[in-house]
């Protein structure tokens, strides 16, 4: 599964939409007092921050386990340009 790049325009539009919706709900339907809305917004930001940190930690941990295998070249004793001594070949 490939990771897609983060899109700042989508997150900015989403946050703007939620802010407008929250303000409409507070003033039109009197669901929350402005003080209650401030506490709810702070709690949501804290929860999202903790989830973001946890997601980053889990992603970093799984990336370390699945490091790609890079094969090492094996020395060729028949190569005339190889100046290093090899076992079984007198130098």
Tens digit of each residue's pLDDT (9 = 90 or more) over 69-86: 677 766 665 666 656 665
Residue 1: Cβ within 10 Å count: 3
Tens digit of each residue's pLDDT (9 = 90 or more) over 7-50: 878 888 888 898 888 778 777 888 777 788 788 888 888 988 89
Q: Where are the domains of the chain?
A: 32-64
pLDDT at 28: 84
**Is 88's pLDDT higher than 80?**
no
Write down the residue that tokens 């669901």 correspond to: 31
42 or 4: which leads in pLDDT = 42
Conformation bin of residue 39: beta by default, left when phi > 0, alpha when psi is -120 to 50: alpha
C-alpha span between 88 and 77 (Å, rounded): 9
């Amino acid at each position: 599964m490939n990771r897609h790049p983060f899109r700042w325009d989508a997150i900015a539009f989403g946050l703007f939409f939620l802010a407008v919706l929250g303000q409409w709900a507070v003033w039109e339907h009197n669901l929350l007092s402005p003080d209650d809305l401030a506490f709810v917004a702070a709690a949501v930001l804290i929860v999202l921050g903790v989830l973001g940190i946890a997601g980053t930690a889990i992603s970093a941990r799984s990336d370390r386990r699945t490091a790609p295998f890079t094969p090492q070249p094996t020395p060729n004793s028949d190569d005339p340009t190889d100046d290093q001594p090899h076992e079984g070949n007198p130098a």
